[in-house]
Amino acid sequence: MLDIRIKNAIIIDGNLTPAFIGDIGIRGDQIVAIDAMADDSADLTIDASRRVVMPGFIDMHSHADLALLAAPEAESLVRQGITTIVAGQCGFSPAPLAKKYRKEMLRSLAMFLSPEIPVPWDKISTFASYLDCLERLKPAVNVAPLVGHGMIRAAVMGYAADSPSREQLHQMQRLVAEALDAGAFGVSTGLIYPPGSFSTTQEIIAALKPIGRGGGLYFSHARGEAGTILDAYAEAIEIGRQLDTAVQISHFKAAGRQNWDKASPALRLIDQARQAGLDVAADMYPYEAGWTYLATLLPRWALSGGSLRTFIRLILPNQRRKIIAAMKAGQGESIDHIEWDKVFIAGSSIANHVGHSAAELAAREKIDPYEWTLNALLKTGGKIQMIIMVSKEDNIRLQLRHPAMMIGTDGMGMSANGLMRQGIPHPRSFGTYPRLLGKYVRDEGILSLEEASWKSSGFPAQKLGLKDRGVIARGCKADLVIIDWEKVSDRATYANPWQYPAGIETVILNGKVALNQGKLSQERAGALLRFTHR
């Protein structure tokens, strides 16, 4: 007797096996049979004729960790077929929190979740306490947690741009080791965000020592994705080489028109590292726009010392002039040449900013867009985010085809209704995987369905050391997505991201139905995954 039987499906196993037609039998949380099972009865039989069944997607780059603490149903994830997220990215994670710097640390997380949305912060201090809290909330997806290096550094020395003392380095190592002991898969850095941006390469290598020799993975939002991309990616690879551990380059992109020709050499850096025997891979989301803090347009030094210092600099006329000169000279953290008509305000405490370009908003006030940006940062207390058009469509196709490229959303857990509908999120939070399958696989033929599935589940599982997920095989956990191949597409746009995709019909998570013919179930069967040392 089976719990669930999926009949007559076009099976894509996530492991590059050519598609085949068959049945899938599920008992408990496991796949127990794959073939024709004419005699075996089941509690629930799903007729998947003319439907594609794939492993649920493993989102290699998710910022949904904060949202899960407030809204564990994770609707925008489940509805695009995601069953596992790798959270704690770009140097940010909900823990560890240090008493001394707690307020500023929580402020730094506000980019990922509006502070008005309630999170049980009183239950979170150490990394272990965060994982306990998350587990008790029963998230609707599996979570593979990373600890953010930015949080570790902030917990030890706040947002100072200074170098750590020997004792402070030891404290950072202790916090990394604690997170790994609790179950973290590794550490992420976000080297354009304070305080991670203040760390030298050698400091990072020293602080991350506990992930050395495969003790954990290293995920890097590199120090630059624009003019300095090649140096930045080389740094990420070097950190992995010196630590003797696997490297994941996050949300790969060559940002800004004058850097588009750097995508190929950046991919070659990854090739060379792999040829030299290093475990280096990357992930990407298939969109031309990025999404981040407006403040990342400022030069690094302007962001040092915590937000109060930054605001003082934004007030003093001579400092303002210096900041603008540096931005014009290409020293901004996220992009070196700003096209103001391609910078759209995605979230702001001033409601009438949202949805307009910085060029438009500056023209409305009859001031220069640099001045407008500095004013807007001051007026909103820095709580202002942007969607910025940075990538070239041809590069997206080139990157998707690269053998070391996986898929990650860089998105958040959202909902089209209720509390979790705020600002203008990047459409990737709703549509990454349906867009990959509809636009790039079916419509443009950039990848085969088998390749897309490998990059969305089999390959990430292999990298993470998840031996029983990411593929459809006997004995594996039953994390599956059933897709109407003719209909699958993303519907979220930059102007209206609050739209769930089409064609993602049914999602099964740990053997439980999470989405049933488009209806979200109340069952939240996500597991907290813990890293097992390889």
Give residues in contact with Zn ion (CB under 5 A): 90, 221
Q: How far is CA 357 from CA 259, 344, 352, 364, in A?
A: 22, 4, 11, 11
Task: State the nearest-atom distance from the C-beta of 221 to Zn ion, in Å.
Answer: 3
Closer residue to Zn ion in complex, CB, 343/472: 343
The nearer residue to Zn ion, 224 or 511, going by C-beta atoms, is 224
Rounded to the nearest 10°, the torsion over CA 101, 106, 112, 116 is -170
Place of tokens 């937000």: 307
Helix segments in 296-342, DSSP class H:
307-315, 317-328
Question: Is the CB of 232 or the CB of 508 nearer to Zn ion?
Answer: 232
61 vs 342, beta carbon nearer Zn ion? 61
Q: Residue 33 or residue 110: which is nearer to Zn ion going by CB?
A: 110
Q: If you search the block for the tokens 């994670």, which residue do you land on?
A: 93
Measured between alpha carbons, how far is 55 from 33 in angstroms, rounded to an integer? 15
| Distance from C-alpha of 230 to C-alpha of 269, rounded to nearest angstrom | 8
Separation between Cα atoms, residue 72 and residue 87, nearest integer Å = 14
Judge contact between 414 and 70, C-beta under 8 A: no
Burial class for 443, CB neighbours closer than 10 Å (0-12, 13-18, 19+) = exposed
**Whole-number minimum distance, CB 193 to Zn ion, in Å?**
8
CB of 61 to Zn ion, least distance (A): 8
Report in angstroms how near the CB of residue 47 gets to Zn ion at its nearest. Answer: 41
Instruction: Give CA–CA dist 154/381, Å, rounded.
Output: 20
Q: Compute CA distances 131 → 183, 401, 431, 526, whole Å.
A: 8, 35, 27, 13
Closest distance to Zn ion from the beta carbon of 408 (Å): 10
Q: How far is the CB of 188 from Zn ion (least distance, A)?
A: 8
Which residues sit opposite 396 in a β-bridge? none
- Residue 142 or 250: which CB sits closer to Zn ion? 250
Least separation in angstroms between CB 26 and Zn ion: 36
Q: Is 16 left (phi over 0), alpha (psi -120 to 50) or beta?
A: left
Helix (H) or strand (E) holding 32: strand 30-35
- Shortest distance in whole angstroms from residue 292 CB to Zn ion: 7
Minimum CB distance to Zn ion, residue 200 (Å): 20
- Residues 56 and 507: beta-carbon distance below 8 Å: yes
What is the C-alpha separation between 514 and 116, in angstroms, rounded?
28
Tokens of 301: 């030094």
23/410 with CB nearer Zn ion? 410
DSSP state of 165: P
With respect to Zn ion, which residue has the nearer C-beta, 221 or 428?
221
Give the shortest CB-250-to-Zn ion separation in angstroms.
Answer: 5
Using CB atoms within 10 A of its CB, is residue 49 exposed (0-12), middle (13-18) or buried (19+)?
exposed
Nearer to Zn ion, 111 or 481 (CB): 111
Q: Which is nearer to Zn ion, 189 or 373 (CB)?
A: 189
